[in-house]
Amino acid sequence: MTEVKLSRRNTALLIQDMQNDIVKSGRPVVPLGETVLIDNCKKLLTQARRLDVPVLYVQVTRRADGRDAPRPPLGTELPIGGPPLIEGTHGAEIVSELTPLSTEPMITKHTTSPFNTTDIEVYLRRFGITTLILSGYSTTGVVEGSLRDARDKDYDCVVALDCCAAATEQEHLTCIDIIFPRMAWVANADEIISAFVI
């Protein structure tokens, strides 16, 4: 594989759906566990800030009446006990270890991918971004969704494999080992940090 080099002038880090109701609610965070996942994201976030790489946060929220919650897939029923993620509550907030700075945009979405129903591309254009580093929970949800949409829009993509997690090891590894390498450079946080040209 060709050696990957990243420029801080056109690269942005997306911290996606790292919210209390999602990663601190007792649900499975596989294969890393919530503490390691958060620590790895924090390491990548710290280095991005040090290098002046733009950081954008993505969060998913729901109305209190649940009317904007996604419909269940055809032939199934709504899963019981899904995260509430009610807008304005502690559960919908980004975990405290990854608290956004006031200068870092918060992209609020109501769908799986932030490229639908949000203004994320306004920020990416204004920041001159052509490469995205993707992280978050879940691997098969927001990470896969944002990766597919970003590639369709001709962004170069990096998936931080140790800054993602899912409900099961099988679904996480299927994405990391099979699906994502067809669309992105898949690397751990240390490899990504080392790839930046200072």
- The answer to whether position 106 is within a domain reads yes
- The answer to whether position 1 is within a domain reads no
Q: Which three-class secondary structure state does DSSP give residue 31?
A: coil
106-162: pLDDT as tens digits: 999 999 999 998 999 999 999 999 999 999 999 999 999 999 999 999 999 999 999
- CA of residue 163 relative to chain centroid, distance: 8
Backbone angles phi, psi at 100, to 5 degrees: -65, 150
Amino acid in the structure at residue 182? R
- The answer to whether position 116 is within a domain reads yes
pLDDT, mean of residues 177-184: 98
pLDDT of residue 63 exceeding 60: yes
Q: Domains in the chain: how many in total?
A: 1
pLDDT of the residue at 99: 98
Judge whether 139 and 165 are in contact, CB under 8 Å: yes
CB atoms within 10 A of CB 24: 18
- The answer to whether position 92 is within a domain reads yes
Q: What is the CATH number of the domain that holds 184?
A: 3.40.50.850
Bridge partners of 129, per DSSP, are: none
pLDDT of the residue at 64: 87
Q: Which three-class secondary structure state does DSSP give residue 70?
A: coil
pTM for this model (two decimals): 0.95
Residue 82 sits in which domain range?
A: 6-197
